[in-house]
């Protein structure tokens, strides 16, 4: 099985396989193919568990954008109907006057999906699910949990299910707490919701009685800014391949080999470096265009941000995409989480990286913020 040295980071942020080594072992032994798939699935489950725990601990990396919440919910309606099944009726009551929130789009989606899944599980024989949006103003002097005064986007999810007692409600947002039978739930769904909402500067409330269903009210900080562009999810998978040249900088050999191999399989020309010094030398000597710098943020001696700043005068048209598996408080001082800066969080899949690279390459290069 893969060498344990290739599971790195004592804080369990990066859980990655040396895919090349394992595939070399599998070569000529087709009976090991199923084992390979099981290992990859186990790694993905571990990565998902890590993300959920980071969400509860409010240590994940958020990339907030201005979101039109009503439109976002409407765009997810078809997927939500598939989640709940045909025996649950979904009603949308969406404020069409413009409910905007400043939040990470993927995390807002995670909040809604987890609440819908929780509602579905509370209605095993069917029922009604209502999703509402509205603008809410909390005025100075009003006592409202720990929310400061201001404008908020309110998203409400109500089900007609079995409801909860007060004692259950007191623990509902705790990690690993579940009322389901063993093996039927991780107990992390609602704790993930709680962590995302709190890290986003919002709050979540629950109103429930046994036999009377449950209502979850989620408040996200709002803004009067207009969304930068429609956030409609794509109807078909986004492209994950290209032919551009990518300068890959990653100090961990197993991770670098995995990424380089994945990118070459997607059609890219890859120039890989183990540190910033090597990357600078490659950039100076490479005779043609380098379209993208894909660099780790935290590296010995010269960070990814510092490397990008040194390369900018040499490669003025080069796009930059940062990646890291560290928590937000560690990488935030490096300035890679600022608006307009492209960033992708580890652990990641080849498909997710490919989609992000296409997104970055198809946009004009963003200026690098100064330290």
Residues 6+ apart with CB under 8 A from 175: 52, 53, 56, 187, 188, 191
Residues of the chain with pLDDT > 70, as a percent, come to 68
Q: Where is 194: in which H helix or E strand?
A: helix 189-199
> Mean of the pLDDT values across residues 318-334?
72
Give the residue, 297 or 330, on which the prediction is more confident: 297
pLDDT at residue 145, as a whole number: 67
Q: Which value, to the nearest 10 degrees, does the dihedral of the CA atoms of residues 160, 165, 167, 168 take?
A: -30
The pLDDT-based confidence of 4 (bands split at 50, 70, 90) is very low
pLDDT digits (tens, 9 = 90+) for 201-228: 889 999 999 999 999 999 998 887 776 5
Residue 273 has pLDDT above 90, yes or no: yes
Six-digit token pair at 212?
A: 């009377």
The CATH code of domain 245-361 reads: 3.40.50.2300
Q: How far apart are CA 97 and CA 134, in angstroms?
A: 9
> Mean of the pLDDT values across residues 26-51?
53
Q: How far apart are CA 73 and CA 109, in angstroms?
A: 8
Residue 11 has pLDDT above 80, yes or no: no
> Mean of the pLDDT values across residues 14-43?
50
65-221 maps to CATH 3.30.565.10 = yes
The pLDDT-based confidence of 108 (bands split at 50, 70, 90) is confident
- DSSP track, 29-86: -GGGHHHHHHHHHHHHHHHHHHHHHHHHTT-S----EEEEHHHHHHHTHHHHHHHH-T
């Amino acid at each position: 099985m893969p060498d344990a040295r290739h599971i790195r980071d004592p804080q369990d942020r990066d859980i990655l396989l040396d895919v090349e080594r394992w595939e070399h072992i599998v070569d000529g032994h087709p009976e090991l193919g199923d084992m390979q798939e099981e290992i990859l699935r186990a790694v993905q489950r571990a990565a998902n568990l890590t993300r959920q725990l980071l969400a509860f601990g409010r240590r994940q990396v958020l990339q907030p954008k201005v979101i039109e919440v009503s439109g976002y919910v409407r765009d997810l309606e078809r997927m939500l109907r598939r989640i709940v099944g045909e025996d649950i009726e979904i009603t949308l009551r969406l404020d069409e006057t413009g409910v905007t929130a400043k939040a990470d789009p993927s995390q807002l989606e995670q909040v809604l999906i987890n609440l819908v899944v929780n509602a579905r599980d509370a209605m095993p024989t069917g029922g009604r699910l209502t999703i509402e949006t509205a603008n809410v103003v909390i005025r100075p002097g009003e006592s409202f949990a720990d929310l400061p005064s201001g404008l908020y986007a309110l998203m409400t999810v109500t089900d007609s299910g079995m409801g909860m007692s007060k004692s259950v409600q007191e623990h509902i947002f705790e990690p690993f707490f579940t009322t389901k039978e063993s093996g039927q739930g991780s107990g992390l769904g609602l704790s993930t919701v709680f962590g995302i909402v709190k890290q986003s500067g919002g709050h979540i409330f629950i109103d429930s009685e046994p036999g009377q269903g449950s209502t979850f009210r989620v408040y996200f900080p709002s803004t009067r800014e207009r969304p930068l562009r429609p956030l409609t999810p794509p109807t078909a998978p986004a492209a994950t391949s290209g032919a551009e040249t990518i300068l890959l900088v990653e100090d961990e050999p197993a991770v670098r080999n995995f990424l380089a191999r994945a990118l070459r399989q997607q059609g890219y020309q890859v120039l890989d470096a183990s540190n910033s010094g090597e990357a600078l030398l490659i950039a100076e000597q490479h005779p043609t265009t380098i379209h993208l710098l894909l660099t780790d943020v935290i590296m010995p001696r010269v960070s990814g941000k510092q490397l990008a700043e040194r390369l900018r005068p040499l490669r003025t048209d080069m796009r930059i995409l940062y990646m890291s598996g560290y928590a937000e408080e560690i990488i935030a001082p490096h300035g890679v989480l600022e608006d307009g800066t492209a960033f992708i969080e580890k652990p990641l899949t080849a498909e997710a990286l490919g989609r992000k690279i296409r997104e970055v390459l198809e946009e004009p290069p963003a200026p690098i913020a100064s330290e």
